[in-house]
Amino acid sequence: MTTPALLPLSGRRLPPLNLGASAFPHHRATLRLSEKFILLLILSAFITLCFGAFFFLPDSSKHKRFDLGLEDVLIPHVDTSKGGKNLGGFLIHGQGHDEHRHREEEERLRNKIRADHEKALEEAKEKLKKSRDEIQAEIQTEKNKVVQELKKKDSKPLPPVPLPNLIGINSGEPADPDIREKRNKIKEMMKHAWDNYRQYGWGHNELKPIARKGHSTNIFGNSQMGATIVDALDTLYIMGLHDEFREGQEWIDKNLDFSVNSEVSVFEVNIRFIGGLLAAYYLSGQEVFKIKAVQLAGKLLPAFNTPTGIPWAMVNLKSGVGRNWGWASAGSSILAEFGTLHMEFVHLSYLTGDPVYYNKVMHIRKLLQKMDRPNGLYPNYLNPRTGRWGQHHTSVGGLGDSFYEYLLKAWLMSDKMDTEARKMYDDAIEAIEKHLIRKSNGGLTFIGEWKNGHLERKMGHLTCFAGGMFALGADGSRDDKAGHYLQLGAEIAHTCHESYDRTTLKLGPEAFKFDGGVEAVAVRQNEKYYILRPEVIETYWYMWRFTHDPKYRQWGWEATQAIDKYCRVSGGFSGVKDVYSSSPTYDDVQQSFFLAETLKYLYLLFSSDDLLPLDNWVFNTEAHPLPVLHLQERRQTLDKTRPLNQASTGVRNEALHI
Ligand code: DMJ
More confident residue, 148 or 352: 352
Q: Are 600 and 232 in contact (CB under 8 A)?
A: no
* Residues paired with residue 618 on neighbouring β-strands, in sequence order: 626
Residue 206's region, left for phi above 0, alpha for psi from -120 to 50, else beta, is beta
Q: Are 166 and 627 in contact (CB under 8 A)?
A: yes
pLDDT band at residue 111, thresholds of 50, 70 and 90? confident
Q: Measuring from atom 6 of ligand 1, which residue has the nearest CA?
A: 621
Structure confidence by residue, pLDDT tens digits, 172-215 = 999 999 999 999 999 999 999 999 999 999 999 999 999 999 99
Cα 58 to middle of ligand 1, angstroms = 56
Burial status of residue 395 (CB atoms within 10 A of its CB: 0-12, 13-18, 19 or more): buried
Q: Measuring from atom 3 of ligand 1, which residue has the nearest CA?
A: 622
C-alpha to C-alpha distance for 270 and 264, rounded to whole angstroms: 10
Which residue of 219, 402, 529 sits with most ligand 1 atoms within 8 Å of its CB, as the best mutation to test the pocket? 402
Q: Are 465 and 401 in contact (CB under 8 A)?
A: yes
At what angle are helices 342-352 and 401-413 packed, to 10 degrees?
40
C-alpha to C-alpha distance for 197 and 213, rounded to whole angstroms: 8
Angle at 367 between CA 346 and CA 348, to 5 degrees: 10
Whether 19 has a pLDDT exceeding 80, the answer reads no
Answer positive or negative: Cα dihedral of 198, 201, 203, 204. negative
Whether 657 has a pLDDT exceeding 50, the answer reads no
Q: Are 305 and 259 in contact (CB under 8 A)?
A: no
C-alpha to C-alpha distance for 331 and 384, rounded to whole angstroms: 8
Whether 76 has a pLDDT exceeding 70, the answer reads no
For 112, the 3-state DSSP assignment is: helix
Q: Which atom of ligand 1 is nearest to the CA of 402?
A: 6
Which residue of 271, 334, 409, 589 sits with most ligand 1 atoms within 8 Å of its CB, as the best mutation to test the pocket? 271
List Cβ neighbours of 406 (8 Å cut-off, separation of 6 or more): 339, 340, 341, 342, 343, 621
Q: What pLDDT is attached to residue 109?
A: 82
pLDDT band at residue 105, thresholds of 50, 70 and 90? confident
More confident residue, 122 or 428: 428
DSSP string, 362-409: HHHHHHHHHS--GGGPPPSEE-TTT--B-S-EE-SSTTTHHHHHHHHH
Cα 258 to middle of ligand 1, angstroms = 22
C-alpha to C-alpha distance for 32 and 25, rounded to whole angstroms: 12
Q: What pLDDT is attached to residue 112?
A: 81
Residue 628 DSSP class? P
The 3-state DSSP composition of the chain as helix, strand, coil percent (nearest 5) reads 55, 10, 35
What backbone torsions phi and psi does residue 29 show, to the nearest 5 degrees? Answer: -85, -25
More confident residue, 91 or 544: 544
Q: Are 209 and 590 in contact (CB under 8 A)?
A: yes
621 labelled ligand-binding: yes
pTM above the 0.95 mark?
Answer: no
C-alpha to C-alpha distance for 350 and 354, rounded to whole angstroms: 8
Q: What pLDDT is attached to residue 541?
A: 99
Q: What pLDDT is attached to residue 632?
A: 65
Tell me what the mean pLDDT of segment 540-563 comes to: 99
pLDDT band at residue 639, thresholds of 50, 70 and 90? low
Q: Which amino acid is at 537?
A: I
More confident residue, 53 or 650: 53
Which residue of 535, 538, 541, 598 sits with most ligand 1 atoms within 8 Å of its CB, as the best mutation to test the pocket? 535
Cα 621 to middle of ligand 1, angstroms = 7
pLDDT band at residue 122, thresholds of 50, 70 and 90? confident
Q: Which atom of ligand 1 is nearest to the CA of 531?
A: 11
Comparing 17-26, 379-388, 531-540, 570-579, which segment has the lowest mean pLDDT? 17-26
List Cβ neighbours of 103 (8 Å cut-off, separation of 6 or more): none
Q: What pLDDT is attached to residue 66?
A: 27
Whether 6 has a pLDDT exceeding 80, the answer reads no
Alpha helices (H) in 509-630, listed in sequence order: 535-547, 550-566, 592-593, 599-605
Residue 582 DSSP class? S
Average pLDDT for the chain? 84
Whether 233 has a pLDDT exceeding 80, the answer reads yes
Whether 165 has a pLDDT exceeding 90, the answer reads no
C-alpha to C-alpha distance for 400 and 335, rounded to whole angstroms: 6
Q: Measuring from atom 10 of ligand 1, which residue has the nearest CA?
A: 533
Q: Measuring from atom 8 of ligand 1, which residue has the nearest CA?
A: 462
Q: What pLDDT is attached to residue 588?
A: 98
Cα 622 to middle of ligand 1, angstroms = 6
pLDDT band at residue 90, thresholds of 50, 70 and 90? very low
Instruction: Give residues (CB < 6 A) around ligand 1.
Output: 402, 462, 533-534, 593, 597, 621-622
Among 462, 482, 444, 471, residue whose Cα is nearest residue 549? 471
Tell me what the mean pLDDT of segment 119-139 comes to: 72
Q: Are 267 and 337 in contact (CB under 8 A)?
A: yes
- H helix count then E strand count, the chain: 23, 22
Tell me what the mean pLDDT of segment 453-457 comes to: 96
Q: Which atom of ligand 1 is nearest to the CA of 465?
A: 4
Cα 86 to middle of ligand 1, angstroms = 72
Q: Which atom of ligand 1 is nearest to the CA of 538?
A: 4
Q: Are 586 and 569 in contact (CB under 8 A)?
A: yes
Tell me what the mean pLDDT of segment 286-305 comes to: 98
What backbone torsions phi and psi does residue 651 show, to the nearest 5 degrees? Answer: -60, -50
Cα 618 to middle of ligand 1, angstroms = 16
Among 280, 169, 164, 190, residue whose Cα is nearest residue 611? 169
Query: CA Rg, the chain, in Å?
Result: 34
Q: What pLDDT is attached to residue 636?
A: 60
Q: Are 227 and 206 in contact (CB under 8 A)?
A: yes
Structure confidence by residue, pLDDT tens digits, 572-625 = 999 999 999 999 899 999 999 999 999 999 999 999 999 999 999 999 999 999
What backbone torsions phi and psi does residue 566 show, to the nearest 5 degrees? Answer: -105, -20
Q: What pLDDT is attached to residue 148?
A: 62
Which residue of 593, 599, 601 sits with most ligand 1 atoms within 8 Å of its CB, as the best mutation to test the pocket? 593
DSSP string, 470-528: HHHHHTT-GGG-HHHHHHHHHHHHHHHHHHHHTSSSS---SEEE-STT--SB--SGGG-
| Chain centroid offset of residue 73 CA | 47
Report, as residue numbers or ranges, the catalytic residues: 268, 401, 510, 535
Q: Which atom of ligand 1 is nearest to the CA of 398?
A: 7
Whether 345 has a pLDDT exceeding 50, the answer reads yes
At what angle are helices 275-284 and 342-352 packed, to 10 degrees?
50
Alpha-carbon distances of 7 from 24, 317, 453, rounded to whole Å:
20, 55, 81
Question: Percent of the chain scored above 70 by pLDDT?
Answer: 77
Cα 399 to middle of ligand 1, angstroms = 11
Q: What pLDDT is attached to residue 51?
A: 53
For 107, the 3-state DSSP assignment is: helix
Whether 26 has a pLDDT exceeding 70, the answer reads no
Among 378, 379, 376, 383, residue whose Cα is nearest residue 392? 379
Whether 423 has a pLDDT exceeding 80, the answer reads yes
pLDDT band at residue 263, thresholds of 50, 70 and 90? very high
Tell me what the mean pLDDT of segment 559-563 comes to: 98
C-alpha to C-alpha distance for 475 and 496, rounded to whole angstroms: 23
Angle at 282 between CA 254 and CA 286, to 5 degrees: 35
pLDDT band at residue 385, thresholds of 50, 70 and 90? very high
Structure confidence by residue, pLDDT tens digits, 492-543 = 999 999 999 999 999 999 999 999 889 999 999 999 999 999 999 999 999 9
pLDDT band at residue 153, thresholds of 50, 70 and 90? low
Q: Which atom of ligand 1 is nearest to the CA of 405?
A: 6
Q: Are 213 and 205 in contact (CB under 8 A)?
A: no
Among 233, 243, 232, residue whose Cα is nearest residue 284? 233
Q: Which amino acid is at 570?
A: S
DSSP string, 196-222: HIIIIITTSSEEETTTTEEE--GGGTT
Cα 413 to middle of ligand 1, angstroms = 20
